[in-house]
Amino acid sequence: MTAELAPHSWNTGFVWRDHTGPFTTLTDEQVAQFDRDGFVVIPDAYDADVLARLIDEIEPGVDLVRGLLEQLPGGRISVAGLDTQIVAPHLVGRSDYLRRFCADELLVGICRDLMGPDVRLYWEQAVYKQPHGAEPVLWHQDNGYTFVEPQDYLTVWLALTDATLDNGCISVMPGHHRLGTLAHAETPIGFECAGDHDIAVDVPVRAGSLVIFSSLSPHATRINTTDTVRKAYIIQYAHDGASGRQGDPSTGDGVAVPLDEPTRQFVVLRDGRRVEPA
């Protein structure tokens, strides 16, 4: 265990609620696994043509971030680095195709089953894990970086290339999502919460597959030991009306900021129906 298993100071009274059907996109078994383990895999969700188009739309943003990192001392900032992984966020701001993809029928159907009828895009980013990386991604919950309320939003991790044990596939601590947001410590390479690779579940997947996990699921990735880049596109969805709490948890309650920036946090599901992005 790399850190103490303790609740975040803003996590008071959290209760995980299992999902009830009927479901429109996932099976009863898939939803049951998500409730039990905090993640579920949708294999081969997208074909090679879709992946090629996604990569074409994503890589100008990756190149931009690479150029910015090249200007920094050591070429690194927090979890991103030329020798670790290039993280390119907010790509929907420069690509109409990616805006539409984030409201894809499959993705909003998953949101409908696991989040309810009113959902908006919260965050999306490409993560290109570099060959022979210098650092792993530490154990963390997505809600450990920015404390979002309601705490249980959804992360969709799309493998643009095969994700393997050697190149840094996702590893998840099953069942820990039911505890709510955990305490995180800040390190030079990102935030860290309790996690242990010896008892975690590794989740290798083929290109085009989805790993769906809760914002409360502790997860990590080992370094990429191969000669090629491991590519992923990560899309996160929050409940419509959600807010991000900003401030120092050790000194007070912080300030709630609505998650409704229109260029990148748009509604994808309203009253259970898909909304076409503007």
pLDDT digits (tens, 9 = 90+) for 90-141: 999 999 999 999 999 999 999 999 999 999 999 999 999 999 999 999 999 9
- Which pLDDT score is estimated for 164? 98
pTM value surpassing 0.85: yes
pLDDT digits (tens, 9 = 90+) for 49-64: 999 999 999 999 999 9
- First CA to last CA across the chain, in angstroms? 45
Provide the 3-class DSSP secondary structure of residue 175.
Answer: coil
The total number of residues shown for the chain amounts to 278
Tell me which residue has tokens 């912080």: 254
- Which pLDDT score is estimated for 21? 87
Please give the helix or strand (H or E) that residue 115 lies within, else none. Answer: helix 105-115
- Which pLDDT score is estimated for 2? 56
pLDDT digits (tens, 9 = 90+) for 179-189: 999 999 999 99
Residue 29 backbone dihedrals phi, psi, to 5 degrees: -70, -40
Name all domains of the chain by residue range, CATH numbers in brackets. Answer: 28-240 (2.60.120.620)
- Rounded to an integer, the average pLDDT of 33-55 is 98
- Which pLDDT score is estimated for 13? 87
Residue 16 has, within 13 A of its CA and on its CB side, a CA count of 19
Q: Is pLDDT at 198 greater than 70 in this prediction? A: yes
Q: Before 188, cis peptide (omega within 30)?
A: no
- Rounded to an integer, the average pLDDT of 165-192 is 96
Tell me the CA distances in angstroms from 51 to 45, 124, 148, one per residue in order.
Answer: 10, 16, 30
Confidence band for 273, pLDDT divided at 50, 70 and 90: very high
Average pLDDT, the chain: 96
- Which pLDDT score is estimated for 249? 84
